Amino acid sequence: DRAVARRGAAVATRVGGPLSPVASTRLRLVRRLVYIAILVIGLALALAQFAAVKRLATGVLASSAVLGIVVGFAARQTFANAVAGVLLAVTQPIRIGDLVTFEDTTGTVEDIRLTYTYIVTDTGSRFVVPNERLAQSSVENHTLAGDRVRVEISVWLAPDADAVHALAVLGREEGVDVEVAEIDKDGVRLTARTWARNAGERAALEAGLRASCLERLKAIQKD
């Protein structure tokens, strides 16, 4: 498994540099399929050396229809996840390293395994998703449109605050779009949006944008 991955990465580096997200995703799937195939074949060859196992196999084959139904029912979920994993690696709606949003969870795709996909959030927690569920649901891929990633934060103002003045002040920052997103009895919610050059800069830029908005609003209060 690891030998195949190292060999593939070494060849790719010599030929044309590091692996692309597309190649990396497919290589990981291939190496796991090869590993499973070797394991199954090796186990079958080892068991075939025992006469008792051969006799057992003969009896099992005689009732293969019933066994197939039982095993198929028990392994349906695992098989469905494995098939979905292959489809994800081939069609690649998401790739390793992509910034995605799935069911209100946003993070970077760390790995796409045969049965599960691992997504790492900005807080460092890992969101493990069965591949069948991922393949059947809508996933927002922020990376496919390009390297740039949209950064958005919310800023709440008190009900009696001057929202128009706050909009004007926050909107002075270059490259930042500010608009009124919501008005209710608790106050006014403004949304500030900008762009990060890549997914890796998203968290830092988001924190910096919050700090900048807070500083500008404090300046308004002093005035």
pLDDT of 27-86, one tens digit each?
Answer: 777 777 777 778 778 777 776 666 665 566 666 555 555 556 555 655 677 888 888 888
Residue 5: pLDDT above 60? Answer: no
DSSP 8-state symbol, 92? -
Contact 146, 197 (CB under 8 A): no
23 shares its domain with 119: yes
45: containing domain? 2-141
**Least-confidence region, from 142-146, 165-169, 182-186:** 142-146
CA angle 42, 44, 46 (to 5 degrees): 70
- Last residue of some domain: 141, 165, 197? 141
DSSP 8-state symbol, 107? E
pLDDT score, position 50: 62
pLDDT score, position 53: 57
pLDDT in tens, 159-171: 888 889 999 999 8
Tell me the one-letter amino acid at 89: A
pLDDT score, position 135: 87
104 shares its domain with 164: no
In order of 181, 192, 220, the CA distances from 169 in angstroms are 16, 12, 8
pLDDT score, position 73: 59
* Number of domains, the chain: 2
